[in-house]
Structure 1
């Protein structure tokens, strides 16, 4: 038989003070980039404040957010978070890949459309993506819109 509050087997000789619980987070895809930014910045901040042991404790959790690091390392996590959330609020965007510079890098922006007839709002995603990363980002963003955008005409934004 188990305790209805903590799930510990009744009659367990261990006291509640020395039984550690585990927290499991389920993070929706639209918040992936926000969590990635949070973990990586906290790891950096703790290290800068001389709390290396705490920073190292965060590393395994932050590693879970390093999917396709070779592509997305060129893109700003904050902009990625805003773009992902914007898509779920019903904003549509078009990825614009700029011209390549002398280093072989190119800027990447998204033009988001709002109300019909309004001017698109441009969001800078990267200043220095490789052409391959820019192309893969474009494919990722188009797929994200196809999967996460609400049905057209449905208001789901922050003011809905």
Structure 2
């Protein structure tokens, strides 16, 4: 089973089948296409900032390989590191790109295939009860436990037992 993120287009959508056309479905996990074709994938998905960082990382790694005198397989392996990062972070990069363009996270669905995920989401969405993402704190920041002087389960010195 995979986790699928459903993004609603800017301005919202009417709860009709025509309104469902603008939604974008993203699969979380490693992307083989993004790994193999990283610069083209980033450009096609309009992740311009990530593409600039990718090019800068490739240039920096090429300079480092030249400076350390790496040849053959070692320099090739070093050059694949940015591709590996893009492959692992492809869904996150695309989600941030969609959010910058005004899309909002409408829900998250666990399913085997894209069609199954869209069917589960849109059945609830058309009924008026779209699944939502996990709620965050009132400030929108992730939950952080209170800081105390205790490490693990050890009691504080001098505390009542």
Indicate whether the TM-score tops 0.5.
no
TM-score (norm 1): 0.25
* Larger helix fraction of residues: 2
TM-score (norm 2): 0.25
